């Protein structure tokens, strides 16, 4: 089976990464969770560690805990068969689009050569902002990158209704399976 890195960002939808991690492990995949510092406001490393059965990477300072001389974010980037950013926030998408590395997830992204699936989740107005749309277009144009979502319409945690919700877990799992079944492009 595949080695999948789940990049989890600071969104209320971060809790849904737990269900995705659990489902992928049940399918036989090796799952590693990498959280932005903001993600830890919404989900705990203990939850993700328990469900993924692997230590969770959250901060650069924690990377040498295993005693490995290769930084964990580089090691995971080299092992990954697929990188999934879920939920992808406007901030993380902007960092990825512009090559900024303020945290372990964005640093891992730059070192990763595996296909990348990006599942946005944010306020409708944030998603529709020209800067976010330009960043999404930049990412979608990169080889091996796909943006899935956000879901078309629905109530958001902020109280507005519109496009911005994370796509359903079933769709996420379907997209991951499809990406793993597709041969990498040279």
What amino acid positions are annotated as catalytic residues? 158
In eight-state DSSP terms, residue 9 is -
How crowded is residue 132: how many other Cβ atoms within 10 Å of its Cβ?
Answer: 20
For 173, the token pair is 């799992």
* Residues contacting residue 78 through CB under 8 Å, at least 6 positions apart: 111
Q: Is 85:150 a contact under the CB 8 Å cutoff?
A: no
Strand spans (E) along 13-150:
30-35, 82-88, 116-120, 145-147
Q: How far apart, in whole angstroms, are the C-alpha atoms of residue 27 and residue 72?
A: 24
In eight-state DSSP terms, residue 165 is B
Q: How far apart, in whole angstroms, are the C-alpha atoms of residue 35 and residue 114?
A: 18
In eight-state DSSP terms, residue 61 is G
Q: How far apart, in whole angstroms, are the C-alpha atoms of residue 45 and residue 29?
A: 19
Phi and psi angles of residue 94, each rounded to the nearest 5 degrees, phi first: -65, -45
């Amino acid at each position: 089976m595949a080695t999948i890195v789940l990049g989890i960002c600071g969104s209320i939808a971060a809790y849904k990464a737990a269900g995705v991690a659990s489902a992928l492990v049940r399918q036989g995949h090796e799952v590693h969770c990498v959280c932005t510092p903001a993600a830890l406001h919404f989900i705990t490393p203990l939850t993700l560690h328990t469900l993924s059965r692997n230590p969770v990477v959250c901060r650069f300072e924690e990377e040498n805990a295993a005693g490995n001389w290769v930084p964990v974010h580089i090691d995971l980037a080299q092992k990954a068969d697929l990188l999934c950013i879920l939920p992808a926030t406007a901030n993380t998408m902007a960092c990825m689009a512009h090559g900024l590395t303020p945290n372990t997830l964005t640093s891992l992204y730059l070192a990763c050569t595996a296909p990348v699936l990006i599942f946005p989740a944010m306020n409708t107005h944030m998603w529709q902002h020209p800067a976010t749309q330009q960043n999404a277009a930049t990412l979608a144009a990169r080889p091996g990158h796909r943006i899935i979502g956000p879901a078309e319409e629905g109530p958001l945690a902020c109280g507005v209704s519109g496009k911005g919700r994370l796509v359903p877990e079933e769709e996420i799992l379907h997209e991951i399976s499809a990406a793993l079944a597709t041969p990498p492009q040279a």
